[in-house]
Amino acid sequence: MLKQEQSLRLTQRLSPLQIQLMKLLQVPTALLDQRIKEELENNPALEDLSRIDMREESQSDSSATESDDENLDPDLDSEPNDNNEAEISLEEFLNEEEENYYKTHASNHSPDDEPWEMPVVQNVSFMEHLLGQLGMRDMDEKTATIARHIVGNLDEDGYLRRSLSQIADDLAFTAGIHCTEEEVEKALRIVQELEPSGVGARDLRECLLLQLENSGSREKAVLNAQRILRDHFEEFTKKHYDRIQRRLHLEDEEFREAVQEILHLNPKPGSAFESVKSNPYSVTPDFILEKDMDGQLHLSLNSRNAPQLRISPRYADILRAMSNDKNQKESAQFVKQKIDSARWFIEAIKQRQDTLMKVMTAIMEHQAEYFATGDEKKLKPMILKDIAEKVGLDISTVSRVTGSKYIQTPYGTKLLKDFFSESISREDGDEVSTREVKSILLELIRNESKKKPLTDEKLTELLQQKGYNIARRTVAKYREQLDIPVARLRKEI
């Protein structure tokens, strides 16, 4: 049996404005322009005042030009007479140009002068550079095709990450060329002779050996370097220098010279060539922090965060006209939706600006000592909850604001997330930032003896002597976060 009943229910819904704001908060300044352009293209009721001003200025310039043309002497448009300039033929024009050549060209050149032209920089990709060299090699067409296919399979570092059998299969399926692994190997050897030296290698060991072999040097240090890489590569990567030196029966100076030869090689030969890469966008700061002569700090938003947007007056007029016509009810509803959407977007942009400034101001207040000095050791422990409570916003909102956002400071451009860190306790009970501990850890490693680097146990002991209550596994974690290898791999001879 069906029946109707009324009930009250409390639900939470996000308004279109709130949804727009949440999306815009996590957009960095570098991508905000693109987001605004998309909205302008999709919503004709939204206008960018800066673009309108430029368009109107352009139109006023063109109308002024037309007005000037209309005010010209009317006799100029009439048939030529004795007072007007007579028409000339192409032949006469060419002759006149030759006669007046001195007016535009100087004749004070010496026969000894060398012609000079402005150099034109041509960007050639890494692959084009290699293919150009292949074109000058003497080889049969089948080998050339295999070699070009190999070049096309090199990664950006210059390595061949596919096996010879896979290359042979590719050629059979894509080009209908049947070849053996030996034929692929032959073509690969040709590729490995190209510049930069080391391209076409299948692993780091082969890459370094190719560079030594292609150098053509027969010096003792080079030959010893080849022996180290060929017979003791794994031990060399682990820096077991003493063991290698004993097995090769090398004196200290001989071993040192061989290792220096290896260290001067390029592990990524492809990166040595300036390939053409398009950078989607460079780091664009969302905030700009400046310090005046009195040491006072002034925070401002990047001007690109504050576009001049408005609702199109023409669309507003169209809506007013349609609202009085019952036959255009659907059209009026469409126009109203576009205007509402434009209004929400403009309001979301304004709220985005206010929220960004509010959050960044709270971060500056919390980290006042750091922003006054630029010393990372002055950074205090700070988590998202601390800022959320200060500004009265949800933690998720603060996370959106600080994610992928940068601030330009007198001490460099910084990522906002770098100002956040957990805390650890000192022996005196004070809470300090983990950034402070990492900074001291980095300083200890920079000042260590490279012949006998500090182990994690020794680093833990030194930090505890400075009053930081920290465990060895925590030191190891911080060291890894700083991309610093273990002591054995930091050792130098």
pLDDT-derived band at 387 (thresholds 50, 70, 90) equals: very high
What is d(CA 267, CA 321) in angstroms, rounded to the nearest whole number? 71
Which H/E stretch holds residue 415? strand 412-415
pLDDT tens track for 252-296: 899 989 988 998 888 888 876 644 444 444 678 889 999 888 888
Window from 58-67, 147-156, 323-332, 360-369 with minimum mean pLDDT: 58-67
Higher per-residue confidence, 69 vs 434: 434
359 burial (CB, 10 Å; 0-12 / 13-18 / 19+) is buried
pLDDT for res 206: 93
Write down the pLDDT at residue 91: 44
Task: Decide which of 65 and 422 is more confident.
Answer: 422
| pTM, rounded to two decimals | 0.51
Picking from 413, 216, 301, 305, the residue whose alpha carbon sits closest to that of residue 35 is: 305
End-to-end CA, the chain: 91
Q: Which CATH architecture has domain 423-490?
A: Orthogonal Bundle (1.10)
Range list for CATH 1.10.10.60 in the chain: 423-490
What DSSP character marks residue 267? S
CA atoms within 13 A on the CB side of 386: 17
CA-angle at 155, arms to 153 and 158, nearest 5°: 105
pLDDT at residue 119 in the model: 44
Torsion sign (Cα): 341, 343, 344, 346: positive
How far apart are alpha carbons 288 and 294 in whole angstroms? 18
pLDDT of residue 208 exceeding 90, the answer is yes
Q: What percent of the chain shows pLDDT beyond 90?
A: 21
Using the 8-state DSSP alphabet, how is residue 380 labeled?
P
User: What distances in angstroms separate CA 248 from CA 243, 245, 286, one per listed residue?
Assistant: 9, 5, 57
pLDDT of residue 365: 93
User: What are the φ/ψ torsions at residue 16 (nearest 5 degrees)?
Assistant: -55, -35
Does an H or E element contain 291, and which? strand 287-291
How do the residues of the chain divide into helix, strand and coil, expressed in percent and rounded to 5? 55, 10, 35
Q: Report the alpha-carbon distance of residue 17 to residue 351 in Å, rounded.
A: 10
**Three-state secondary-structure class, residue 142:** helix
Residue 441 parent element (H or E): helix 434-446
Query: Tens digit of pLDDT for each residue in 297-327?
Result: 999 988 776 678 888 888 778 877 777 676 7
pLDDT in tens, 93-139: 334 444 433 333 444 445 444 444 444 444 567 888 888 888 888 88
What is the overall mean pLDDT for the chain? 79
Contact criterion met (CB below 8 Å) for 416 and 363:
yes
Q: Are strands 406-409 and 412-415 parallel, antiparallel or unpaired?
A: antiparallel
pLDDT at position 76, please? 37
Question: Of the given ranges (14-28, 48-62, 149-163, 238-252), which has the lowest mean pLDDT?
Answer: 48-62
Residue 105's pLDDT is 40
Amino acid in the structure at residue 409:
T
pLDDT of residue 58: 53
Question: In this structure, what DSSP letter does residue 414 have?
Answer: E
φ, ψ dihedrals at 367, nearest 5° = -105, 40
Q: Is pLDDT of 38 > 60?
A: yes
pLDDT at 14: 55
Q: Assess whether pLDDT exceeds 50 at residue 79.
A: no
Averaged pLDDT for residues 409-415: 89
Amino acid at 385: K
The two tokens of residue 328 are 């255009």
